[in-house]
Structure 1
Amino acid sequence: MSHARVRQAIETKLAAWSAARQIRVAYSNQPFTPNPSETYLRAFQLPASTTCRYLGGDAYEYTGVYQISIVCPSAQAMATAETLVEELTQLFRVDTPLARNGFDGLITEPVDQGPTITESATYTVPASFTYAGVADQPPAGA
């Protein structure tokens, strides 16, 4: 499952960056309770279909979108989220290598900011980028 490996490569990079900035990240499969006045990130992987263009199925191609939503208290200035989008744009630049346990890939499209989603207590600014890569398949029965 190389979508898992690309997710791990991205999340390792994101975790190091967020720890340095002291901003928490809510990953899709981990419990997370935000503080009422906290700005935090929500991370999601949206994998696309796996393909194989090679005879014998020696390597599979994996593509997808990784989304990082910036969640801010509603009273916080939009500039906070916009600054974080800019920082994520620098962190996940086009052609940034993504490698993990036999998966070799790249970020293929730049970080793109989506529309702001407003709620009563928070607003969310989604930012996403695409990735693509190749991984050798393990031998049958492994």
Structure 2
Amino acid sequence: MISTISELLESHLNIIANRLNLPIIYENIEAAPNDEIYLKSTILPAMTTSFDLDGDSRIYKGIYQVGIVAPINTGKSRSQQISEAIINHFQLNTELIKDNFSLYIHSVPSAYPAITDKTTYTIPISMNYRADTLI
């Protein structure tokens, strides 16, 4: 299921990235620093659980994090505007569907304090996701 979860979350991010004309760097793909803002997609799955005694159900939960990565010394305004657009795009209870699998955003997406290093200024946005299924 993690591949379906990844596909749903990343395809939804791709919609807003295209609208904002921003590239996305996905997990396990090296990002070469350059002079443009880009998005970094990270999926942090949590333990899969079940809610019935027979174990026929599965609850897939985790955190989806999108980083807005800007070159250092370019200011914060554009990154903050992008973070607001992403938060508005991934609203609480947004449902993402593929075939008979449904996933939804289970928390209000939140921007966290920026992380600065020698070359980048990154604003992380995190949100919880959840999918309940029957096997």
Per the alignment, residue 128 of structure 2 pairs with: 130
Larger Rg: 1
Per the alignment, residue 106 of structure 1 pairs with: 104
Q: Equivalences for 1:70-85 in 2 at 5 Å? A: 70-85=68-83
Q: Residue 37 of structure 2 contacts residue 68 of structure 2 at CA under 8 Å; is this kept in 1?
A: yes
Q: So what's the TM-score if we normalise by structure 2? A: 0.91
> Are 1:27 and 2:48 counterparts?
no
- Structure 2 distance, partners of 1:26, 1:39, is 11
Give deviations 1:72-100, integer Å, cap 9, x for gaps: 01121201111111001110000100222
Q: Residue 98 of structure 1 contacts residue 104 of structure 1 at CA under 8 Å; is this kept in 2?
A: yes
Q: So what's the TM-score if we normalise by structure 1? A: 0.87
- Structure 1 distance, partners of 2:104, 2:120, is 33
- Structure 2 distance, partners of 1:45, 1:112, is 15
How large is the RMSD of aligned CA atoms in angstroms?
1.5
Unaligned runs of 5+ in 2: none
- Structure 2 distance, partners of 1:120, 1:32, is 15
- Structure 2 distance, partners of 1:32, 1:123, is 14
How many residue pairs get matched?
135
Unaligned runs of 5+ in 1: 138-142
- Structure 2 distance, partners of 1:135, 1:3, is 13
